[in-house]
């Protein structure tokens, strides 16, 4: 056996779920623990352990990252209501009412907030992948969204000074009840949005009836895992109506119904669209963006991508919907937003109406903008911000901070890269249908989540993109942008481990990036050389036409491709690494 490379610094390893975890364990054994003498700080972030530890595993992950500075995170499951019910049924000693939100929600937002990190996602520069672009011109797909409600009809404002934002509710008793409070500083934006559940139900009836009348397959997209008290409430109401009033007719007509998280569904519909479908996105801010994108695609199609696409997501500082208070109203009443004792806004809600209160941190926004400019300058990228500043005080803060950062950089004789500010819908359309030479697209958290999945899918697959979370204090977390591959995991289980299909490219690349960062920080040239060779071996493997099933037919010479399973691909990378 060859000598191991000595590594002085620990590396944080955050384990995940399902097929991604099967791959991750083999990657760590092949490329980390076997060739390196390194201390791994390993934390179990599986859905089961997050629940069993009542969220302590997430807290442990944040503490480890802040202490050691560099980590690799695997994909983990975010459980929906049905999955949570099943998991709790198997653990009768757990009390649902006393569960910490960290036990059941996605850990991603908490980790990003805990380390103060923002996300940059970009394509891995595989030299021989080509996109078989779907024929979009004239394709018969329509997007249906609600006209009103939600963030479109929110009340948003800036904090007059540092203090406390409180959300109060006045119901039948007449006594105000505090639902939520959060600290803000002067200039921080906050926003209150609600949706009329009766209006959501009326939209659902129109949506499903339109699908039947026009005989279209049905797609519904929301973010119910992360925003369970808002999107989850809408999903439950819409799907109750579907099952009660429309499912039998839909099945009788031979039509299909699909629900997916909106980011995954957006990627699927854009990169692998059905022939004829109706796509329901009840949230009108996301819905309008995706409606405009689909209309552009139907007119102009998807052009060749001649440059790498990078997306930066503002996720530190509390963020948007991901850092919100969200829950349904327990009874009819009045919501009030009070800032330092002064009532700023009030509105009526009815029982069951979903409520969302969110805020952001102006200082964190500035850190993000400076990071965007720094990254773009280092990689010679143009910058295209997406903001709704024409009618959103919340977004106007971002615009003001961009101007402020630009002036400070110019004064310091370090001018920022070329940049533009446009509406998020235009930003998305430009990224997909009119991409410039080399660009970075900064977006707020939910937009960035949807946009990055669309971009990665058009670049080949989510497994051909890299994801980097960087905090102001230098903490770096590398991860794969894809999920846990539930369908592939079921095949793996049913075959007793004999059928193992998974593209491990993004996970291998994340490990290489993390090791490269550790090497730079401790001045370890031998480790740095190894990390660079690992990333090169990955790119060479696909360059030689050795691909997993998801990339079949996507290289420049499909007739020369060799399609392998997960282990075959890892072995091929290892072979090139040692050659």
Within 215-261, residue ranges assigned H as helices are 231-241, 247-252
Average pLDDT over residues 277-284: 94
Within 379-524, residue ranges assigned H as helices are 393-411, 424-433, 445-458, 486-494, 505-522
Q: Write out pLDDT tens, residues 421-432.
A: 999 999 999 888
Task: Provide the residue count of the chain.
Answer: 579
Q: Which residues lie closer than 8 Å to 491 by C-beta, 6 or more apart?
A: 499, 501
Tell me the three-class secondary structure of 340-393, residue by residue.
Answer: CCEEEEEEEECCCCEEEEEECCHHHHHHHHHHHHHHHHHCCCEEEEECCCCCCH
Please say whether the beta carbons of 52 and 80 come within 8 A.
Answer: no
The pLDDT score that the predictor gives to residue 171 is 95
In angstroms, the CA 167 to CA 182 distance is 9
Q: How confident is the model at residue 319 (pLDDT cuts 50, 70, 90)?
A: low
pTM of the prediction?
A: 0.84
Residue with tokens 């934002």: 165
Residue with tokens 């499951």: 77
Between residues 118 and 6, the one the model is more confident about? 6
3-state secondary structure (DSSP) of residue 107: helix
Fold of 5-129+474-578: Isopropylmalate Dehydrogenase (3.40.718)
Average pLDDT over residues 20-37: 98
Average pLDDT over residues 102-118: 87
Average pLDDT over residues 145-152: 90
For 131-459, CATH number?
Answer: 3.40.718
The pLDDT score that the predictor gives to residue 316 is 67
Give the closest residue to 442 by CA, choosing from 416, 477, 480: 416
Q: Write out pLDDT tens, residues 485-543.
A: 989 999 999 999 999 999 999 999 999 999 999 999 999 999 999 999 999 999 999 99
The pLDDT score that the predictor gives to residue 1 is 46
The pLDDT score that the predictor gives to residue 433 is 83
DSSP state, residue 496:
T
Residue 460 has pLDDT above 80, yes or no: no
Domain map (residue ranges) of the chain: 5-129+474-578, 131-459
Q: How confident is the model at residue 266 (pLDDT cuts 50, 70, 90)?
A: confident
**Average pLDDT score, the chain:** 92
Q: Write out pLDDT tens, residues 163-193.
A: 999 999 999 999 999 999 999 999 999 999 9
Integer Rg of the chain from CA: 24
* Cα dihedral across residues 145, 146, 147, 153: positive or negative: negative
363-386: b or e for each residue (b if 16 or more CB lie within 10 Å)? ebbbbbbbbbbebbeeeebbbbbb
The pLDDT score that the predictor gives to residue 515 is 98
Residue 456 has pLDDT above 60, yes or no: yes
Q: Residue 174: how many CB atoms within 10 A of its CB?
A: 7
Q: How confident is the model at residue 317 (pLDDT cuts 50, 70, 90)?
A: low
Beta strands in 159-288 (DSSP E): 163-170, 176-184, 189-194, 217-222, 257-261, 276-280
Residue with tokens 């894809």: 482
Is there a shared CATH topology between the 5-129+474-578 domain and the 131-459 domain?
yes
């Amino acid at each position: 056996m060859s000598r191991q490379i000595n590594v002085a610094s620990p590396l944080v390893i955050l384990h995940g779920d399902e097929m991604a975890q099967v791959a991750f364990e083999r990657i760590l054994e092949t490329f980390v623990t076997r060739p390196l003498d390194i201390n791994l700080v390993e934390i179990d972030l599986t859905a089961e352990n997050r629940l069993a530890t009542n969220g302590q595993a997430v807290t442990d992950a944040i503490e480890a990252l802040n202490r050691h500075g560099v980590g690799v995170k695997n994909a983990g499951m975010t459980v929906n209501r049905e999955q949570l019910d099943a998991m709790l049924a198997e653990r009768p000693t757990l009390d649902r009412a006393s569960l910490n939100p960290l036990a059941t929600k996605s850990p991603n937002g908490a980790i990003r907030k805990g380390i103060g990190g923002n996300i940059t996602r970009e394509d891995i520069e595989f030299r021989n992948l080509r996109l078989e672009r779907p024929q979009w011109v004239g394709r018969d797909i329509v997007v249906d969204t609600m006209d009103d409600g939600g963030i479109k009809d929110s009340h948003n404002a800036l904090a007059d000074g540092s203090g406390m934002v409180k959300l109060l509710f006045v119901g039948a008793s007449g006594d105000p009840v505090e639902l939520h409070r959060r600290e803000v500083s002067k200039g921080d934006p906050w926003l209150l949005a609600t949706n009329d559940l009766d209006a959501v139900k009326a939209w659902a009836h129109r949506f499903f009836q339109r699908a039947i009348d026009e005989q279209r397959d049905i797609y519904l997209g929301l973010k119910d895992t992360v925003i369970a008290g808002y999107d989850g409430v809408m999903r439950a109401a819409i799907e109750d109506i579907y099952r009660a009033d429309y499912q039998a007719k839909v099945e009788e007509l031979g039509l299909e119904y699909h629900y997916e998280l909106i980011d995954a569904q957006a990627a699927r519909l854009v990169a692998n669209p059905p022939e004829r479908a109706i796509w329901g996105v009840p949230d009108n801010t996301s819905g309008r963006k995706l409606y405009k994108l689909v209309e552009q695609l139907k007119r102009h199609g998807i052009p060749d991508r001649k440059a790498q696409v990078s997306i930066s997501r503002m996720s530190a500082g509390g963020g948007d919907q991901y850092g919100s208070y969200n829950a349904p109203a327990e009874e009819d009443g009045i919501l009030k937003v009070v800032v330092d004792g002064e009532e700023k806004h009030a509105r009526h809600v009815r029982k069951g109406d979903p409520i969302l209160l969110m805020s952001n941190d102006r200082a964190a926004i500035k850190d993000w903008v400076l990071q965007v400019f720094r990254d773009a300058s280092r990689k010679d990228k143009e910058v295209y911000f997406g903001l709704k500043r024409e009618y959103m005080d919340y977004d106007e803060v971002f615009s003001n901070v961009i101007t402020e950062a630009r002036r400070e950089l110019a004064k310091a004789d370090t001018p920022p890269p070329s940049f533009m500010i446009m509406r998020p819908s235009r930003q998305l359309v430009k990224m997909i249908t009119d991409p410039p030479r080399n660009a970075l697209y900064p977006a707020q958290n939910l937009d960035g989540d949807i946009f990055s999945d669309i971009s990665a899918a058009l670049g080949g697959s989510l497994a051909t993109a890299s994801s980097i979370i960087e905090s102001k204090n230098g903490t770096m977390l590398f991860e794969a942008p894809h999920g846990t591959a539930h369908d592939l995991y079921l095949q793996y289980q049913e075959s007793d481990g004999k059928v193992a299909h998974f593209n491990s490219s993004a996970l291998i690349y994340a490990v290489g990036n993390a090791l490269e960062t550790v090497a730079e920080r401790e001045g370890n040239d031998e480790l740095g050389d190894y990390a660079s060779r690992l990333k090169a071996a990955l790119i060479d493997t696909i360059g030689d036409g050795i691909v997993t099933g998801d990339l079949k037919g996507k290289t420049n010479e499909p007739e020369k491709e060799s399609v392998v399973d997960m282990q075959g691909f890892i072995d091929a990378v290892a072979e090139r690494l040692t050659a």
